[in-house]
Structure 1
């Protein structure tokens, strides 16, 4: 945005011409102000107008704004400052790879629910219902904000019907199968055995295991514990360190003597590698790292688990199902659901009871049998 200050020789006054970008018709826009008695007065008014225009041009013009332009504006003015870094990266990726290529050219104020519905139908040809639902939620939130900011009068995404994802069936390993998995992992995948073993022994999430540091491992107390104070997540090839919210205490998990023994052996190896390679090895002080001392990629952990399962002849499960297996084994052993809930880090015991209702129903059956034997 450039301005030119000139003197009107006939009138003896000053004026300026300011370049103000392009108008709604696409043509170059200029603003002219005349009649200033002094050069200083004209320059001050020009600077003031330049500032006003700079502020106004950061907001897209509603009349000819495309959906793509608005989504860029929403990312910059809302998502960047109101979401976690990982969430922002995921939103930006969805907008760049999906929403803008398909609907970015549509005008924001003429967008129809039926156009969004057609978009969902097309996307379901290549994406899961869960992925399309995630896109719907993003788009609906962005258009809600467009209503709040008075760009549009109505959120048309509310009129579109997103697909209902099929709930992923929980698959669990029993005690014998889990022990077989541990044995096979130790033999066939020594690098990833510790994290697989840790998942089955504690029920921790993958992100919690990846983010566990040695500062949060207590092996010296009579009851060894792990403290969950951060997670590490990955999005679009980038890693994000996510500390627990301020004011919230780290979750602690008591561990078995077997796991404590494994961690003690890992700590000895860690100290040795640190002594040899110095601070360049495992700079984040992680308990579970790859052979180079770097963060374990979630995809590599999954692939390692799949290989071990196949070698051992075990059912194909997700890494997250090790968490479900841990909880199922404890509940089947009549461990109180509150204890299981605390180990898993559920905010409410009701979440645990709902998630594992198939087990709690059978446990209630055992309770009824006990009552029948004790009471007349």
Structure 2
């Protein structure tokens, strides 16, 4: 660094002057700091402060002026698009476009503060769930961590912000009688979506697994189906997600009534194909809409709500059909290992933790059994 010696006195003016060379600007021109003072002491103090400021600035990762919005676009293009699954990228892109940019995009990245994020979370809680806002926090925190790696900023201010704590979703389940009545009502009120509701109740499969189920993965001979892919939707796009090649597909034994229903549904699809050609149900899906297209998750949920309202039953989510399936089996004293396998849980402990509220009723069945066996 040039010009780091003691200040010199200008013989003409009597002023004490120091000059510090600070490097080059974006055009390659040399830059410097030049100041003058009445006394040598003032000049020495000011020069020491200036040298320290220059040193600190040079140690900063990057002085590039970029807004939060500009950086998030850069992050989506250079990280998310190439390092995440298409569905994940679509979700990130929507969060950035619809939420983060409108609220925080105008702020300079290096000027972003934890308190601004805290205010963002507070505002978003007026229109979004705590779980969604927490997801925004995770996305932003990841993006800011990458900004450190890329030398845009020195620290991640998201670490100092406190996202809302998501409340655990309450599990609502139907009894055997309620579930049977719901399915009977759905068959009358929403026949197109009745088969997928019936399958959910009889298998405990997730919505994405049911939407992605194909006929080649239904074995009528052994009365089993196999889950080899899911179909998910994000930002108006559908994504086909295959299970990893080294992972064994989950097999689920069909109930006799579900096997009958699927057999009838397959015959119906074959008739439709003869009439409409290969354009009907091109993905060979077990559950498709009346036009042979992928069933939209939102359409399935709305159909369930219509059936629930018609049956005058307590409101539940589609995912609660899965919970109802597991609860009915556990209350019937089916071994948790079997229930866990049907649900596709990685460990039996996951099943037991999820349905820990059933411990008392299951233990009651066990005690009743002991009463009949022991004197």
Q: TM class by shorter-chain length?
A: 0.7 to 0.9
Instruction: Answer with 1 or 2: which has the greater Rg.
Output: 2
- How many angstroms does 1:237 deviate by? 1.2
Match of 1:267 in 2: 266
- Asked if 2 retains the 8 angstrom alpha-carbon contact of 1:331 and 1:360, the reply is no
Instruction: Measure the CA separation in 2 of the matches of 1:69 and 1:272.
Output: 53
Match of 1:296 in 2: 295
2:204 is equivalent to residue 206 of structure 1: no
Change (3 A) 1:374 1:267: closer
Instruction: Measure the CA separation in 1 of the matches of 2:274 and 2:364.
Output: 56
Match of 1:172 in 2: 173
- Asked if 1 retains the 8 angstrom alpha-carbon contact of 2:333 and 2:365, the reply is no
Q: Which runs of 4+ in 1 moved over 3 A?
A: 29-32, 368-376
Match of 1:52 in 2: none
Instruction: Measure the CA separation in 1 of the matches of 2:71 and 2:63.
Output: 9
Match of 1:124 in 2: 125
- How many angstroms does 1:271 deviate by? 1.1
Deviates more, 1:192-201 or 1:116-125: 116-125
Instruction: Measure the CA separation in 2 of the matches of 1:232 and 1:163.
Output: 30
2:356 is equivalent to residue 357 of structure 1: yes
2:70 is equivalent to residue 87 of structure 1: no
Aligned residue pair count:
321
What secondary structure sits across from 1:253 in the alignment? strand
2:170 is equivalent to residue 181 of structure 1: no
What secondary structure sits across from 2:152 in the alignment? coil
Match of 1:115 in 2: 116
What secondary structure sits across from 1:352 in the alignment? helix
- How many angstroms does 1:375 deviate by? 6.0
CA shift digits 1:13-43 (9 cap, x unpaired): xxxxxxxxxxx99xxx7689xxxxxxxxxxx
Match of 1:316 in 2: 315
Match of 1:154 in 2: 155
Match of 2:337 in 1: 338
- Asked if 2 retains the 8 angstrom alpha-carbon contact of 1:205 and 1:323, the reply is yes
Deviates more, 1:123-132 or 1:320-329: 123-132
- How many angstroms does 1:370 deviate by? 4.6
- Asked if 2 retains the 8 angstrom alpha-carbon contact of 1:212 and 1:287, the reply is yes
2:106 is equivalent to residue 105 of structure 1: yes
Match of 1:231 in 2: 230
Change (3 A) 1:62 1:334: farther
What secondary structure sits across from 1:233 in the alignment? strand
- Asked if 1 retains the 8 angstrom alpha-carbon contact of 2:225 and 2:252, the reply is yes
Change (3 A) 1:375 1:260: closer
RMSD: 2.0
What secondary structure sits across from 2:73 in the alignment? helix
What secondary structure sits across from 1:125 in the alignment? coil
Match of 1:140 in 2: 141
Please, which runs of 5 or more residues in structure 1 have no aligned partner?
Answer: 1-23, 33-59
- Asked if 1 retains the 8 angstrom alpha-carbon contact of 2:62 and 2:153, the reply is no
- How many angstroms does 1:292 deviate by? 0.6
Match of 1:257 in 2: 256
Instruction: Measure the CA separation in 1 of the matches of 2:332 and 2:169.
Output: 25
